[in-house]
Amino acid sequence: MSNSDFLLQNLNIAQRQAVSAPLAHTLVLAGAGSGKTRVLIQRMAWLIHTERQSPFQLLAVTFTNKAAKEMQRRLQQVLNIKPQALWVGTFHGIAHRLLRRHYAQAHLPAGFQILDNQEQYNMVRRVLKHTNLDEKEWPPRQVQSHINQQKEGGFYPEQVETGNGYHSQTLLKLYHHYHSLCQQSGLLDFADLLLRAYLLWRDNPELLAQYQQRFAHVLVDEFQDINPMQYRWLKLLAQHNRVFAVGDDDQSIYGWRGADLAHIHRFQQDFQPNQLVKLEQNYRSTGMILAAANGLIAQNRQRLGKNLWTQAGEGAPIYLYQAYNDLDEAGFIADKLQACATQYGGYQHCAVLYRVNAQSRVLEEALLKRNIPYRIYGGLRFYERAEIKDALAYLRLLAHVDDDLAYERVVNFPPRGIGKTTVETVRAHARRHGCSLWQATTALLGNAGLSARAGQALAKFQQLIQNLKQRDLTLDELAQTVIEQTGLIAYYQKKRGEKEEMRLENLAELVRACHQFSAQYEEDLPLLSAFLTHTVLEAGEAGQGTVQGVQLMTLHIAKGLEFPLVFLCGLEENLFPHQLALAELNGLEEERRLCYVGITRAMRQLYLSYAQARCLHGMESHSRPSRFISEIPIGVLEPVHLSSAHQTVYRNHNP
């Protein structure tokens, strides 16, 4: 065996061809579970080991932080290098890393912060208020998505070309206002991260050249979900470098966020890949699971077309459970898990997948009732809980006092006698002078522009922040000091309810999270800012705690993962396919791809289920079974029959 043959072991011929492809652009286009990610990781090892490329010359981009961590872990196994040394991450994560390094060239303050979706929404509402526009006429969500679309297309307000119509002029005005508020507060939204990183390179040719030289190899997993901005960014970087792109057109599920399948075709034109490798052998799932997946996806018209096969044998049929209602469905899933998880290696190897986060609550309750451990990804994430957001807002002010959103959140929380009128005076001053709320506060305190009482309360608040800023503490000490000295802990202690107990526990957990983060942090970027970014960018996928339990997540998050036992629930018309998607052009095909992603996560056993009645967002609805069920070939699905006694038990849960 030659020195590098070990890297090609356990690969089939097509996979080997991809891993050992010549140093040129390469495209691997293949179905689910055919080893794309495995090939990408082996390719990195091959480049380092066989082609003698330095690990620092590699940039690997993947879609989720979970996937990035997995890549780092596996590379470390093969090559024994520190994962932090590698540039492996999501597009957003990498863009952020670049912006922190070169913040000045990107025209950003050193302590810039990231807005999550909800905060962006709040910011839009603030803009509407400033401009005296009615939210009914200008729904904030629509304005928000308009702004994001512009950014994804590469346009800041100055570049937007618009007609003279009132509607488009107003949207532009709102965008302008939003943008200047973000600028002033040093805040970036998700779309900003990508656009800024793109402009940073485009407008600084020397810097770009430095990175072009540095990253001789760029590897992209889940290429089908790349959006226009990411594609442009990649093109800019990879002019002289080699791109190794891996994707599956049948798994493109982010059309609603601007991802465009056409990029696979464009890549072929723009980069003229030297090799186009197709993989069709699936190593993940049983024949039955693949038959279901193949049958379903064959209903889509927009496909490059491929059929997965396996040597693994037929396996068990796919079971379909028709539930009386959502409680019954959850009860069924929890009972099954309890009965057979050990067969699949324990709870942590089992997953429950659903279309929308709101479905998780009933499932959680059913699991809790049976004492089944679980981990939930997404949903109301730890870092999105109100008390955690409050503590983080203080930390954000410490990183960057001009962060207006953070200021607004905590200026009078816990209550410290700063009334609405006072805050309105500060806002008005800030608007008049185009400055941040913090600066406005300083100015008003300086020129005695406030009543004595208001002035005193505000001065105390400023003093509090300034004192905290001056402390020289470790990150977890800082967090602890913040929750104590700002009065957050005392506020919840005074209330003494069960809810408050939980909030106090969460605050303590935050301090632990800070500790854990600092212990693992090895980069040379400022720790506090890095942590704050982590809470926005990585919070959703990190899950909570370290419980080894059943994994609950939406289908979108499940991409790229695999589990021996999978439950795919809520297969009802209007939920899955989702009614909003049905209203969109190509929406149904995207939903079907999402279902294909779900089915192909299963390795050995898949359960499908639907409920005849469901309570979601406080409303009960009755639905027909999803059309996707009928698109699965006959002979693959088998209904689950429960004894009538069993069904009665579930029915009794129904209020």
| Contact criterion met (CB below 8 Å) for 318 and 632 | yes
Stretch that binds ligand ATP, among 31-39, 198-206, 262-270, 582-590 (CB under 6 A): 31-39
Least distance to ligand ATP from the beta carbon of 11, Å? 5
Stretch that binds ligand ATP, among 6-14, 338-346, 450-458, 459-467 (CB under 6 A): 6-14
| Contact criterion met (CB below 8 Å) for 573 and 624 | yes
Residue 285 within binding range of ligand ATP, rule CB under 6 A: no
Cα three-residue angle 299-300-306, rounded to 5 degrees: 95
Residue with tokens 């522009």: 449
* Residue whose beta carbon is closest to Mg ion: 37
Write out the binding residues for ligand ATP, residues 246-275 only, by CB under 6 A.
248, 251
Residue 213 within binding range of ligand ATP, rule CB under 6 A: no
| Contact criterion met (CB below 8 Å) for 636 and 288 | yes
H or E, element range at 483: helix 475-485
How does DSSP classify residue 317? Answer: P
Residue 36 within binding range of ligand ATP, rule CB under 6 A: yes
In angstroms, how far is CA 105 from the centroid of its own chain?
Answer: 27
601 labelled catalytic:
yes
Residue 517 within binding range of ligand ATP, rule CB under 6 A: no
Residue 224 within binding range of Mg ion, rule CB under 5 A: no
In angstroms, how far is CA 452 from the centroid of its own chain?
Answer: 46
How deeply is 52 buried, as exposed, middle or buried, from its count of CB atoms within 10 A (0-12, 13-18, 19+)?
A: exposed
The site that binds Mg ion (CB under 5 A) totals a number of residues, namely 3
With CB under 6 A as the contact rule, the residue among 32, 143, 558, 575 that binds ligand ATP is: 32
Alpha-carbon distance of 206 to 203, in angstroms, equals 9
For 143: left if phi > 0, alpha if psi spans -120 to 50, otherwise beta; the answer is: alpha
Residue with tokens 């901005």: 229
Alpha-carbon distance of 296 to 25, in angstroms, equals 32
* Residue whose beta carbon is closest to ligand ATP: 35
Q: Sign (positive/negative) of CA torsion 543, 228, 42, 93? A: negative
User: Between 74 and 646, whose beta carbon lies closer to Mg ion?
Assistant: 74
| Contact criterion met (CB below 8 Å) for 586 and 638 | no
How does DSSP classify residue 655? Answer: -
Residue 285 within binding range of Mg ion, rule CB under 5 A: no
403 binds, among ligand ATP, Mg ion, none (CB under 5 to 8 A by kind): none
* Catalytic residue of the set 196, 593, 601, 614: 601
Least distance to ligand ATP from the beta carbon of 597, Å? 7
User: Between 30 and 330, whose beta carbon lies closer to Mg ion?
Assistant: 30
Residue 155 within binding range of ligand ATP, rule CB under 6 A: no
11 binds, among Mg ion, ligand ATP, none (CB under 5 to 8 A by kind): ligand ATP
User: Between 541 and 562, whose beta carbon lies closer to ligand ATP?
Assistant: 562
Closest CA to 312 of 328, 332, 288: 288
328 labelled catalytic:
no
For 173: left if phi > 0, alpha if psi spans -120 to 50, otherwise beta; the answer is: alpha
How does DSSP classify residue 635? Answer: T
Three-class DSSP category at 328: helix
* Catalytic residue of the set 15, 26, 36, 150: 36
With CB under 6 A as the contact rule, the residue among 8, 26, 33, 436 that binds ligand ATP is: 33
Distant-in-sequence, close-in-space partners of 8: CB < 8 Å, separation ≥ 6: 16, 19, 20, 42
With CB under 5 A as the contact rule, the residue among 560, 570, 577, 598 that binds Mg ion is: 560
H or E, element range at 534: helix 527-537
x/- track of binding to ligand ATP for residues 552-571 (CB under 6 A): --------x-x---------
534 binds, among Mg ion, ligand ATP, none (CB under 5 to 8 A by kind): none
With CB under 6 A as the contact rule, the residue among 34, 310, 480, 551 that binds ligand ATP is: 34
37 labelled catalytic:
yes
User: Between 126 and 284, whose beta carbon lies closer to ligand ATP?
Assistant: 284
User: Between 37 and 605, whose beta carbon lies closer to Mg ion?
Assistant: 37
Residue 64 within binding range of ligand ATP, rule CB under 6 A: no
User: Between 12 and 183, whose beta carbon lies closer to ligand ATP?
Assistant: 12
User: Between 62 and 227, whose beta carbon lies closer to Mg ion?
Assistant: 62
Least distance to ligand ATP from the beta carbon of 221, Å? 7
> Which alpha helices (H) appear in 86-161, and where do they start and end?
91-101, 117-130, 140-152
Alpha-carbon distance of 414 to 327, in angstroms, equals 38
156 binds, among ligand ATP, Mg ion, none (CB under 5 to 8 A by kind): none
The site that binds ligand ATP (CB under 6 A) totals a number of residues, namely 19
Least distance to Mg ion from the beta carbon of 308, Å? 13
Three-class DSSP category at 27: strand
36 labelled catalytic:
yes
Least distance to Mg ion from the beta carbon of 568, Å? 18
Q: Sign (positive/negative) of CA torsion 411, 412, 417, 420? A: positive
Cα three-residue angle 639-645-649, rounded to 5 degrees: 95
x/- track of binding to ligand ATP for residues 171-210 (CB under 6 A): ----------------------------------------
474 binds, among Mg ion, ligand ATP, none (CB under 5 to 8 A by kind): none
248 binds, among ligand ATP, Mg ion, none (CB under 5 to 8 A by kind): ligand ATP
Residue 291 corresponds to which tokens in the numbers above?
Answer: 């038959």
Least distance to Mg ion from the beta carbon of 47, Å? 19
Stretch that binds ligand ATP, among 32-40, 117-125, 503-511, 566-574 (CB under 6 A): 32-40
With CB under 6 A as the contact rule, the residue among 6, 10, 77, 169 that binds ligand ATP is: 10
15 binds, among Mg ion, ligand ATP, none (CB under 5 to 8 A by kind): ligand ATP
486 binds, among Mg ion, ligand ATP, none (CB under 5 to 8 A by kind): none
Least distance to ligand ATP from the beta carbon of 225, Å? 11
Distant-in-sequence, close-in-space partners of 212: CB < 8 Å, separation ≥ 6: 237, 238, 239, 240, 241
Write out the binding residues for Mg ion, residues 20-49 only, by CB under 5 A.
36-37
Which string of b and e fits 174-208 if b means at least 16 CB within 10 Å?
Answer: bbbbbbebbbbbbbbbbbbbbbbbbbbbeeeeebb
230 binds, among ligand ATP, Mg ion, none (CB under 5 to 8 A by kind): none
| Contact criterion met (CB below 8 Å) for 453 and 484 | no
551 labelled catalytic:
no
As a whole number of Å, the CA-based R_g of the chain is 26
Residue 15 within binding range of ligand ATP, rule CB under 6 A: yes
Closest CA to 552 of 355, 394, 408: 355
390 labelled catalytic:
no
| Binding residues for ligand ATP (CB under 6 A) | 10-12, 15, 30, 32-38, 248, 251, 283-284, 560, 562, 600
| Binding residues for Mg ion (CB under 5 A) | 36-37, 560
What residues are labeled active site?
36-37, 221-222, 251, 601
